[in-house]
Structure 1
C-alpha cells in the first residue's frame, strides 16, 4: 500500500510564496520542475486569475525567484518560467533515497499546499524529517492509502502514476459544482459566466476556478477508475 498525503508547509522562505502574497487573487501553481545539469532547477508556473500587471510586478519584485519570463498567456491563465534564488535546502541528502513524487503544489502567501505520493510510511516520515530540518512547518490535512494491483498506469502533471482511489470531494467543491450546473455554466451556450457563479457564492473568480477544476478532476478520476476504457493506440 502506498500513501497520498495532502499537507501545508508554512515558511516565507519557500519559492513563490512572495509572489502569491503580492497577488492574492491569483492561483499560483507549479506545473513542472525542469532539472538543469548545474545550478538551480527551472520552474514552469501556472498562474490563474488575478490582475496581469500585478502578477508581473509580483514576479519582478520577488526575492525567492529570479530570471522570470512569460511563456504563454491564455485568457486569465498565464505561464511563467523562473528559477529559485539562493542555495539548496539544508540536509538535502535526506531525500536522496526518497521516492516520493509531488502531484500538485500550490504556492500561497504563507507557504505551499501540496499533494504528494509516498511508497510507504517510512518515506513520509523521512520527508517530514527533511521539512523539520529546514524549519518548514508541515501540517498534514489528509493521508490516504492507495490501492495496489490496479491495471494501467496514468501519468499526472509531474509524471506520476495515478493508481489510487481519488480523494474525497470536499463540501466546497460539491457546492461550486452544483451551483455552476444549476446556474447554467455548463450549458451550451452558457447562461452564466465564471464571474456570475463566483458572485453567487461570494468568492473570488480565482478561488471558484480552482475549486471547480478540482471537482471536475475528481469526477473524471472517479469515472476512469470505475469504467473500463481501452487505452488509445497510435
Structure 2
C-alpha cells in the first residue's frame, strides 16, 4: 500500500516564493506543466488577496517572465505564468545536486498539492512505498530543508499519532528531521535537546512515551494477535 505525506520544503529559491512573501495574505496553489521544455509552465490559483497586489507581485518577481489571468470565479483567480528562468538557473546556486533533482521526476510518487509560502513550498504527495518517500525526503534534507508534518498509509482515515501530546509530537519530529532515527544515527539526544532547549533526559522521556503511544495505536491493535 502507498503512503500519503504532508511536508514542507524550506527553500526561498523555489519558484514563486518571492510572490508569496510579497502578498502573505494570499493562498497560492501551484500546478507545474512539465511538457513545456526546460521552463515548466505554472498554473497558479490564488485566493485571499486583492488582484492588484498579485499583479504587482507577479510583474516584479525576478523568476516570472510573463503572466496572464486565465480565469476567475468569485474571489478565486487562476494565472498562467511563464518562468523567466529554468529550474537549473533558478536553483543552481542553492542546490548542488541538480541531477538528483531531475531524478525525483521519475520517482514512484505523485505530488498532489503545492502551496507556495514565504519560505518554500508546502506539499502533499503520494508515494508508492517507503523507499520512494525516503529518496524524496533525503534529497531535500541534504539540499535544503525538509519538515514532515504527516505520513499515513494510503486510505487511512485517521493517521497514527493522534494521541500524542504537542511536546511528544515536536520531539519526534525534531528527532526524525535531525537524523536520530537514521542508520547510522546522525544526531544524539544531546543535540536534539539543544534544539528543543530542554535536557537530554527530558528528550529521552518524551521520545519513549511517544513511541509507546504509537505502538499502542498501531502494532498493539493488530488483530488477530501476532504469533509468538
The interval holding the TM-score normalised by the smaller chain is 0.5 to 0.7
1:138 — aligned with what?
A: 146
* Partner Cα separation in structure 2 for residue 4 and residue 49 of structure 1: 27
Q: Structure 2-normalised TM-score? A: 0.60
> How large is the Cα RMSD of the aligned pairs?
2.0
Answer yes or no: is the 8 Å Cα contact 2:38–2:87 preserved in 1: no
Larger deviation, residues 82-91 vs 72-81: 82-91
Answer yes or no: is the 8 Å Cα contact 2:66–2:82 preserved in 1: yes
Query: Is the alpha carbon distance of 1:167 and 1:44 closer, same or farther for their aligned partners in structure 2, counting shifts above 3 Å?
Result: farther
* Partner Cα separation in structure 1 for residue 61 and residue 102 of structure 2: 28
Query: Is the alpha carbon distance of 1:96 and 1:109 closer, same or farther for their aligned partners in structure 2, counting shifts above 3 Å?
Result: closer
Larger deviation, residues 121-130 vs 46-55: 121-130
* Partner Cα separation in structure 2 for residue 6 and residue 126 of structure 1: 15
Query: Is the alpha carbon distance of 1:36 and 1:94 closer, same or farther for their aligned partners in structure 2, counting shifts above 3 Å?
Result: closer
* Partner Cα separation in structure 1 for residue 145 and residue 44 of structure 2: 23
Q: Structure 1-normalised TM-score? A: 0.59
* Partner Cα separation in structure 2 for residue 111 and residue 93 of structure 1: 18
Computing the radius of gyration from Cα coordinates, the structure with the larger value is 2
2:117 to 108, 128, 131: 108
Q: Unaligned regions of 5+ residues in structure 1, if any?
A: 147-163, 169-234
Q: Deviations over 1:10-34 (max 9, x none)?
A: 111111111111111111001x322
Matches for 1:10-29 after TM superposition, within 5 Å: 10-29=10-29
Answer yes or no: is the 8 Å Cα contact 1:13–1:64 preserved in 2: no
Query: Is the alpha carbon distance of 1:93 and 1:15 closer, same or farther for their aligned partners in structure 2, counting shifts above 3 Å?
Result: closer
Select the structure that is richer in helix: 2
1:75 — aligned with what?
A: 74
Answer yes or no: is the 8 Å Cα contact 1:23–1:54 preserved in 2: yes
Matches for 1:49-68 after TM superposition, within 5 Å: 49-68=48-67
2:138 to 129, 149, 159: 129
Answer yes or no: is the 8 Å Cα contact 1:4–1:116 preserved in 2: yes
Helix, strand or coil at the partner of 1:58: helix
Q: Unaligned regions of 5+ residues in structure 2, if any?
A: 89-97, 160-228
Cα distance, 1:53 vs structure 2: 0.6
1:33 — aligned with what?
A: 32
Alignment size in residue pairs: 150
Matches for 1:208-227 after TM superposition, within 5 Å: none
